[in-house]
Amino acid sequence: LSIDSASGNGVEDQRIGSTGYLVGFRFGIWEKISIIKKCGGKAAIEKQHNKGRLTARERIKYIIDDGTSFFEIGLFAGYDIYNDYGGAPASGIISGVGKIANRNFMIVANDATVKAGAYFETSLKKSLRAQEISYQNNLPIIYLVDSAGVFLPLQDQVFPDEAHFGRIFYNNARISSMGIKQIAVVMGPCVAGGAYLPVMCDEYVIVEGASMFLAGPALVKAAIGQDLDQETLGGATTHSSISGT
């Protein structure tokens, strides 16, 4: 930096340079946010729509009160971590606080456009953080479940630690013991580890076309040779009128 002591131009140049950097930095951040909010991309979103389902962000926008905004938490979780696996925008799970019926709720929604809503380690961290915020601030939670379970290529990062997957279910029990309402809405596949969460909640809703089971029809066939379709194994009718879930 060259400073003209008489005119002070060096200081002015520094100020302009700093302002330009901040403007560029802010633009870069907003550009990244825009990319993250595109979820799994256009093709994945179209695939979700072709199934007659909304995306996680669309679901959240639909359930919060009109004229209110969603305060998102952990948007950059998983950023640039899982590039070897095609990326995981927002870690495949959207969490934050929204107003429903004029009351603040913590909302946690699996993003089925990102690896079918599978859980990465950072997805768990977001879920646990959302539960802790709920616990500390007496916020009821709504889980919008649409998940294929754990992301299997990285399952060794998901289960072993005390602050990993099992902690979610511990928190379910802890939050309910405080009288804080937890509501789970199963809106798509709910498989393996992800199937425990809804049944640990105080209220459980499953929509037609959704399913919940520890092992899908293919694994049942491989294990015991029985042919079952997805609806019979763990669809809305099965859980509403037979299993008692």
Summarised one tens digit per residue, pLDDT across range 114-157 is: 999 999 999 999 999 999 999 999 999 999 999 988 898 998 88
User: How many angstroms separate the CA atoms of 159 and 193, rounded?
Assistant: 10
More confident residue, 2 or 55: 55
**pLDDT at res. 3:** 40
pLDDT band at 70 (very low <50, low <70, confident <90, very high): very high
Contact 156, 112 (CB under 8 A): no
Q: Classify residue 148 by its DSSP letter.
A: -
- Cβ-based neighbour number of residue 54 at 10 Å: 18
At 193, which amino acid appears? G
**pLDDT tens for residues 21-32?**
677 777 788 899
Highest mean pLDDT: which range of 1-5, 21-25, 76-80: 76-80
Q: If we measure between CA atoms, which residue out of 185, 158, 47 comes closest to residue 113?
A: 47
On the question of pLDDT at 181 being above 60, the answer is yes
pLDDT at 164: 79
* Separation of alpha carbons 153 and 93, rounded Å: 18
